[in-house]
Amino acid sequence: MSTPPSKKAIDKAADDRIALYDAILSLKTPAELDAFLSDLCTPAELRAFSERWAVARLLDEGLKTYREIGVEAGASPTTVVRVARFLREMDHQGYRLVLDRLSKLNKKA
């Protein structure tokens, strides 16, 4: 049985996440973001992020079945269901925030 993390460890993890977010927000171009993420993440992690984002976009379009989305995005059925659940049900609604923001930007263009 493992010991739960201490409050100090939890606070440090939160501080580290905030520092990461600040670093990401300091980037000014897609090329800068690509360079940073290429250093920070493994190729497999970047593929996983890209795959989940492709699934979120396809789910948002609402034109394909989960199976079709999985095939098109190269994602497992588990990933498609997980992204769908986060898109619909989770409190933080990060996917929804970005999808809506990008939709507004595309309508202005």
Q: Are residues 58 and 95 in the same domain?
A: yes
Stated pTM of the model: 0.84
Centroid of chain to Cα 38 = 15
- DSSP-derived 3-state class of residue 75: coil
Q: Are residues 32 and 51 in the same domain?
A: no
What's the number of domains the chain is made of?
2
Per-residue pLDDT of the chain (109 residues; tens, 9 = 90+): 678 888 888 888 889 999 999 999 999 999 999 999 999 999 999 999 999 999 999 999 999 999 999 999 999 999 999 999 999 998 889 999 999 999 998 888 7
Residue ranges of the alpha helices (H) in the chain?
7-26, 30-40, 43-61, 66-73, 77-88, 94-108
Q: Are residues 59 and 109 in the same domain?
A: yes
Q: Are residues 34 and 72 in the same domain?
A: no
Cβ density class 84-103: b for 16+ within 10 Å, e for less? bebbeeeeeeebeeebeeee
